[in-house]
Amino acid sequence: MIRGLKYLWAMPATLLGAMFVPLAWCSGGKVQVIEGALEVYGGVPALWLRLCRASAMTIGHVILGRDKAALQLTRAHEHVHIKQYEAWGAFFIPAYFLSSIVTWLRSKHPYYDNHFEQEAFEKTANPCERVQN
């Protein structure tokens, strides 16, 4: 029951992430369910992540990945973000961006020094480094 409430609480963000599913399918991408998360990779999601200079990104209970290998490398880190969505619900996205803005205003890196990223880095061995093209 509590697990169901966590999914419901994160649902607004999950619906946003789920918009990538048909885009992936129509562009040759793939979708899989692993450890309670919908993982979407390849196709349009991969293009989006290249534009963001990221290997993976979590939106609710949806994890976008450039490819299957990127998902495997970043899975533990991204699941920390899922736990954050379960705690913050629809407030996670604005809180994440606010943390990045405050961090940037303090002359720190808006991604690496973001409170939510710091928590994910601390809880996982994988540093989830940005992919440079």
- Say what the pTM is: 0.91
Task: Report yes or no on 113 lying in a domain.
Answer: no
Task: Report yes or no on 118 lying in a domain.
Answer: no
Task: Report yes or no on 8 lying in a domain.
Answer: yes
Q: How many domains does the chain have?
A: 1
Looking at the chain, how many residues does it have? 133
Task: Report yes or no on 6 lying in a domain.
Answer: yes
Task: Report yes or no on 85 lying in a domain.
Answer: yes
Task: Report yes or no on 123 lying in a domain.
Answer: no
- Token duo for residue 51: 């534009």
Q: What's the domain range around 28?
A: 2-89
* Most distant CA atoms of the chain, gap in Å: 44
Q: What is the mean pLDDT of each run of 10 residues along the chain (133 residues)?
A: 88 97 98 97 98 97 98 97 97 98 97 96 68 39
Task: Report yes or no on 127 lying in a domain.
Answer: no
